[in-house]
Amino acid sequence: MKLSFAVPIYNVEPYIERCARSLFGQTLDEVEYVFVDDCSPDRSIELLLTVLEEYPERKPFVKIIRHEKNQGIAVSRKDAYLNTTGDYVISVDSDDDTEPQMAELLYNKAVETNADMVVCNGYWHRREGLRILESAPYGEGENGSFIRDAILNRKVTPGVWVKLVKRDLIFREDMIWPRGDHGEDVVFSSQFTYNAKKIAYVDAQLYHYRYNGNSICNLPDPKQRERNAKDEIKNIEDLERFLKSHGVEDKYWYGVFVNKFYAKMLFLPYVGQRKYRRLWFKTYPELNRVLFWGDERYKSSYKQKIWMAAIWLGIYPKFKRRLATQRFCPNNRWRQW
């Protein structure tokens, strides 16, 4: 096989048909499909098999790995990777979909440039509208070292699903398998990115990352957010361990800083409640002062200081709409919280 798609599946009945058609309809031949059924409680697998009947030529190249019990996205993604046999691998979330030429364009670029990784752009379909996910710094698409540093320092999307990776990168001895089900793709992506000797870029939007209100990332449930934060912390620990093992923790400190900040922000919608305001402050407490005052490496803007003061005083929920306006919002990412 030239290429394998690795696809974990759990509770994606509204999305799986669109996802499957986008994968089976790829323009590249010699493609393998590895789906992992993590004990999905709905009709996801049934619908996947129904769509497969429309593409009989793909049937011999489809694997469905079934878990005996639900194990979560981190283990499902790992098992999908471990069962691939293609020269290259693309990871796809089963509530997303791809452009039909994604595999062909990324694979041809990898062969042409002898790259270990090829990145592309994508579309982020949010409730607020469409946004482009950039995988390379503007104007630096042909510079692999700039792309590597931008991904590891969270300057561009770290998502694993806009990256074709050489399968050898998955089976390295220094591979650390993430333990948590929130932010696990960043741990995978960061390791692939760092270990890739050569990174190439296709300047096209080839992946559709779609908002799923039922995913564990988006459920409006404070207890789920608490579980997500614990998982995020585990994965940040794994990421830090990997970077330290290669002696580059200082070079890529900003990427870790951003991950820690995102872990804190999981509690932001609920800081009006004493419990979750306390959890916000206790999650990486060393960041509290830095986010407000800044330090020798991080500069805090006046808009960020306003947000931090509102959180500190527990008045954020009441003034959320006003804080999210252009006048007070540090950037668009803050606005979505």
Dump pLDDT digits (tens) for 6-58.
999 999 999 999 999 999 999 999 999 999 999 999 999 999 999 999 999 99
User: Among 12-16, 169-173, 274-278, whose mean pLDDT is lowest?
Assistant: 274-278
For the chain, what percentages of helix, strand and coil (3-state, to nearest 5) are there?
45, 15, 35
Please give the mean pLDDT across all residues of the chain: 93
- 153 and 245 co-located in one domain: no
Distance CA 161, CA 186 (A): 10
Mean pLDDT along residues 267-279? 89
For 248, the domain range is 222-336
pLDDT of residue 142: 67
Answer for the pair 196, 163: CB distance below 8 angstroms, yes or no: no
Mean pLDDT along residues 59-88? 97
DSSP per residue over 56-100, as a string?
GGGGGGEEEEE-SS---HHHHHHHHHHT--SSEEEE--TT-EE-T
Domain membership of residue 32 (yes or no) is yes
Mean pLDDT along residues 117-124? 96
Element (DSSP H or E) covering residue 44: helix 44-52
Residues 199-258 pLDDT 10s: 999 999 999 999 766 666 656 688 988 999 999 999 999 999 999 999 999 999 999 999
Give me the number of domains the chain comprises.
Answer: 2
Domain membership of residue 202 (yes or no) is yes
Q: Which amino acid, one-letter code, is at 4?
A: S
pTM, 2 dp? 0.93
Assign 155 to helix, strand or coil. Answer: coil
Q: 3-9 and 88-91 as β-strands: parallel, antiparallel, unpaired?
A: parallel
- 162 and 194 co-located in one domain: yes
Tell which of 149, 178, 210 closes a domain: 210
Does residue 333 have a pLDDT over 90? no
Domain membership of residue 215 (yes or no) is no
pLDDT of residue 331: 83
Alpha-carbon distances, residue 87 vs 129, 149, 199, 327 (angstroms) = 36, 25, 16, 49
- 47 and 109 co-located in one domain: yes
Alpha-carbon distances, residue 139 vs 135, 146, 201, 203 (angstroms) = 12, 10, 11, 11
pLDDT of residue 213: 63
DSSP 8-state secondary structure symbol assigned to residue 160: G
The confidence band for 128, taking pLDDT boundaries of 50, 70 and 90, is confident
Pick 294 or 144 by higher pLDDT.
294
Domain membership of residue 300 (yes or no) is yes
